[in-house]
Amino acid sequence: MDRTENEILRRLYRGLRERRAPQDVAADLLELRAERWLSAVGIRDLYRIVRFHGTQSGSSMPKTWRRHPGLGRSYEVAAAALTAVGQKPEAADPADPVSLRRWLGAATALLGLPEGPSRPPRSTVKRRPVAMTWGHWTYYRLPTPRGARGERGGHVDARERLDAEARRERLPGVPVRAYRRAVRAVLHLQQRTEVLAAERDREAATAFGKARLAHLVAEDDFVACPATAAFTAYYVARLNLRTVFTSGSQARPMDSLAEELLAAAMASPVRQPWVLASVLTRWSVLDLLDDVQCGTLMALYYEQFAAAARALRRSFDENRDPTHMIMRMGDDSSTWNAASRSFNQARTGWLNLLRGLGYEDVLEASCPGKVPALVAADVAAWHRLSGRDQHVDVRVWAELPLPWDVVLGDDDCPAELVRRVCARHGVDAEAAGWTQPYRQVRIELPEPAPDLVHGIAVASPMLAGVLRQAGVFSGQF
């Protein structure tokens, strides 16, 4: 059944928050009559991609982003325990760590507890696997944590609660068991809130590292211009392409079909520059924004900068050799790579905005470096067999101040320092994207996205789905 243009646009908008394949979006663009904006070559490419639509219907990989459900149960338990002692702060949103922290501040004050968490939610000391030998076999296990009282499974030490005299004075008539139950519930929620905040940072890093600010696009702005909607939906699908297991470079998001759709969107009389700038910070797009919009966009990019910086700071092992960015046992490579991708994307957009607005003096004063990804050991071995070593950018980043410290204001990194370090390693700082925003030179040819399992293309997505349900592989990313 044919759909109206408005229905198609609404479907494309919902897809911004999903992980749709380019061929699925291309099928919607064909219904939208996107060929009216394309050349003969573009029309041919569009039809070629659409032919693959539906062939991946049994895809083994999820088409939505993983998201923490929030702390509804823990919050309800803490709120009920607090009500039992005659106290009831203003309600909070259990899925929002900012709202929970506000509620916890009032709750801890009512219970006479000190402000802030009493103990970190997880041990701050990294435990490295230890080799254990059994007969002729060697395996690895994490050592048992030790301390004055040992680890308590992540639960908070509640020894700082009120003593009997202070409790009777502050909370007269409240049974000691009810008070202690409230203390335990509130401190447990306080600890889990810190984990939730870290998860929200990780989720923001994952979403932004792939689709940039697509999740902030308003629906009314998106549907106001069909040409803008067509480019944005297709380009976001290209941005969300999964990583392929290869020793070469990954496919770039901008292909020739996206270039034609972008040209049509910018030439449309009802174009929506803000929607375009949310996913693409080219200077030609930024020139269409007014000063207020550019300032707002710069603030949004810096917020993403800071969120990625916090995630990187938590994930970084201070004992790691920064010139050896290869995975080791115990590394949380998923969090690190998602945060580094988000950091580098935010950095590129921020540099584009600084250059576009003429704020070169800000860049000269503070130019945080790029953050390399953690390379899998098998891929690193593949590189060595091919006669290649780690990328030279790794040696540059190792000599610069930690980029997250620069973003969060704990260190300085002027652009002149970056240029000196790049010159020492034979790197062109401008062309390599260290002091200028990175530019994609090569334009890809439009290709449908294959179904992947851990980066490897599979011949039967249906079989891969069965294997995933059986637990053979996770299928999360």
- 158-198 pLDDT tens trace: 667 888 899 889 889 999 999 999 999 999 999 899 899 98
pLDDT of residue 196: 93
pLDDT of residue 416: 95
Task: For residue 16, give every residue at least 6 positions away whose Cβ sits within 8 Å of its Cβ, in sequence order, or none.
Answer: 211, 214, 215, 217, 222, 232, 233, 236
Tokens 């291309």 belong to residue: 26
pLDDT of residue 154: 43
Q: Which residues pair with 140 in a beta bridge?
A: 131
Query: Averaged over 449-475, what is the pLDDT?
Result: 64
Task: For residue 376, give every residue at least 6 positions away whose Cβ sits within 8 Å of its Cβ, in sequence order, or none.
Answer: 326, 327, 333
- 108-164 pLDDT tens trace: 999 988 876 555 544 545 566 777 777 677 766 766 655 444 444 444 556 678 888
Counting residues of the chain whose pLDDT is more than 90, the rounded percentage is: 45
Of the two residues 319 and 122, the one the predictor is more confident about is: 319
Which string of DSSP letters, residue by residue, matches 171-202? STT--HHHHHHHHHHHHHHHHHHHHHHHHHHH
- At residue 11, the 3 state secondary structure works out as helix
> Predicted confidence band at 469 (pLDDT cuts at 50, 70, 90)?
low
| CA distances (Å), origin 233, targets 20, 21, 228 | 9, 10, 9
Q: Which of 31-45, 202-216, 336-350 has the lowest mean pLDDT?
A: 202-216
> Predicted confidence band at 257 (pLDDT cuts at 50, 70, 90)?
very high
> Predicted confidence band at 42 (pLDDT cuts at 50, 70, 90)?
very high
Average pLDDT of every residue of the chain: 84
pLDDT of residue 54: 58
Of the two residues 149 and 367, the one the predictor is more confident about is: 367
- 204-217 pLDDT tens trace: 888 888 899 998 99
Say how many C-beta atoms besides its own lie within 10 A of residue 349's C-beta: 27
Q: How far apart are CA 370 and CA 312, in angstroms?
A: 12
Instruction: Compute and round to an integer the Cα radius of gyration of the chain.
Output: 26
- Pick from 305, 358, 307, 285: nearest CA to 98: 307
- Pick from 280, 75, 312, 85: nearest CA to 180: 85
pLDDT of residue 385: 76
pLDDT of residue 388: 74
pLDDT of residue 153: 43
Q: How far apart are CA 359 and CA 157, in angstroms?
A: 49
> Predicted confidence band at 263 (pLDDT cuts at 50, 70, 90)?
very high
> Predicted confidence band at 227 (pLDDT cuts at 50, 70, 90)?
very high
Residue 134, judged by CB atoms within 10 A of its CB (0-12, 13-18, 19+), counts as exposed
> Predicted confidence band at 447 (pLDDT cuts at 50, 70, 90)?
confident
Query: Averaged over 47-75, what is the pLDDT?
Result: 78
Query: Averaged over 217-224, what is the pLDDT?
Result: 95
pLDDT of residue 118: 53
Query: Averaged over 408-412, what is the pLDDT?
Result: 93
